[in-house]
């Protein structure tokens, strides 16, 4: 793994991913909205930025050129198919042999076998409703983006984050194939460790065509079931 592109580089997850990739000695390119370029001033001279919306196909095409891996923050902003635009551009323009790692939440399901807590089902319902009323988010578009990724023959991994919190790294999160598995019950991951899992997945071929649901490795459920994770 030599050259990595981070799509959505200026957000909280994106900035942690930049740091993890630089620490691993990767050459890093990134895409972020023009208005957010200054958020990455701390990385000036260390990364190559391609300013633009993350669903801008021309920008994505240039940014992923020659990359061995692409880390994509999939976000359901607006009602203009932002997630599907982002995912499709990455699928279309990344090299066929590139490792493609996408972020999303537990609400995405690969095989329909996840068992969701009622609180999560309620939150998703509210997010869908608010999204429709305000026009600010489109959960169904993120679901469609992941459907397209799952259907593709690319070397993808879709990392499904639990609830997130800030704080110092606790180490690589543990994962399981299905929400509802006891190891995930604590439903909390440090954002810096979500990013760590994304970066580590680049070099873990065992995660190809998997949609790991992750949880912090120091959470009570992870510690209680640490020998049973996938
Ligand atoms: N938040 C959670 O609790 C949670 C839980 C589980 C999974 N996840 C997943 O984690 C990933 C990162 O989410 P996050 O919540 O932690 O946020 P984040 O890392 O701060 O990333 C938010 C991203 O969305 C962009 N963005 C913000 N407003 C936008 C707009 N109006 N139009 C277009 N782009 C916009 C940001 O770009 P700018 O820098 O340009 O603003 C940034 O790239 C996502 O894939 C999410 O599904 C989040």
Q: Which atom of ligand 1 is nearest to the CA of 9?
A: 43
Residue 118 Cα, ligand 1 centroid: separation in angstroms? Answer: 24
**Average pLDDT, integer, range 53-74:** 98
Distance CA 80, CA 115 (A): 30
Q: Which atom of ligand 1 is nearest to the CA of 33?
A: 40
> pLDDT tens digit string along 194-207?
999 999 999 999 99
Distance CA 52, CA 31 (A): 6
Residue 229 pLDDT level (bands cut at 50, 70, 90): low
Q: Which atom of ligand 1 is nearest to the CA of 194?
A: 10
pTM of the model: 0.97
Q: Which comes out higher in pLDDT, residue 143 or 230?
A: 143
Decide if 86 contacts 72 (C-beta within 8 A): yes
Distance CA 214, CA 176 (A): 7
Going by alpha carbons, the residue nearest to atom 34 of ligand 1 is 77
Residue 94 Cα, ligand 1 centroid: separation in angstroms? Answer: 22
Helix, strand, coil distribution of the chain in percent, nearest 5: 40, 20, 35
Residue 96 Cα, ligand 1 centroid: separation in angstroms? Answer: 26
Burial class (CB in 10 A: 0-12, 13-18, 19+), 70: buried
For residue 69, list its beta bridge partners: 4, 99
Which positions ≥6 away from 212 have C-beta within 8 Å? 157, 159, 160, 175, 176, 177, 197, 201, 230
Q: Which atom of ligand 1 is nearest to the CA of 73?
A: 45
pLDDT of the residue at 156: 99
> pLDDT tens digit string along 89-111?
999 999 999 999 999 999 999 99
Q: Which of 193, 183, 189 is nearest to 216 (CA)?
A: 189
**Domains defined for the chain, CATH in brackets:** 3-224 (3.40.50.720)
Name the average pLDDT for the chain: 96
Q: What 3-state class would DSSP assign to 105?
A: strand
Q: Retrieve residue 20's tokens.
A: 């993890």
Pocket test for ligand 1, best of 5, 6, 8 (most atoms within 8 A of CB): 8
Pocket test for ligand 1, best of 11, 120, 196 (most atoms within 8 A of CB): 11
Contact 75 CB / ligand 1 (< 6 Å): yes
């Amino acid at each position: 793994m030599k050259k990595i592109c981070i799509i959505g580089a200026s957000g909280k997850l994106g900035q942690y991913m930049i740091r993890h990739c630089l620490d691993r000695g990767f050459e890093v390119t990134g895409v972020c909205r023009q208005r957010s370029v200054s958020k990455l001033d701390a990385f000036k001279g260390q990364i190559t930025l391609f300013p633009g919306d993350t669903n801008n196909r021309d920008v994505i095409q240039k940014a992923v050129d020659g990359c061995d891996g692409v880390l994509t923050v999939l976000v359901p902003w607006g009602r203009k198919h932002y997630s599907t635009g982002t995912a499709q551009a990455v699928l279309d323009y990344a090299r066929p042999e590139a490792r493609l790692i996408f972020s999303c939440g537990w609400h995405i399901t690969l095989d329909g076998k996840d068992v969701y807590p009622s609180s999560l089902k309620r939150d998703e319902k509210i997010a869908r409703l608010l999204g429709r009323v305000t026009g600010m988010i489109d959960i169904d578009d993120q679901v469609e983006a992941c459907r397209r990724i799952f259907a593709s023959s690319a070397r993808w991994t879709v990392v499904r984050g639990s609830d997130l919190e800030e704080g110092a790294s606790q180490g690589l999160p543990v994962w399981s194939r299905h929400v509802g598995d006891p190891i995930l019950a604590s439903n909390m991951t440090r954002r810096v460790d979500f990013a760590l899992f994304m970066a580590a997945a680049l070099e873990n071929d065992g995660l190809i065509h998997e949609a790991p649901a992750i949880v912090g490795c120091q959470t009570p459920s992870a510690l209680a079931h640490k020998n049973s994770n996938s």
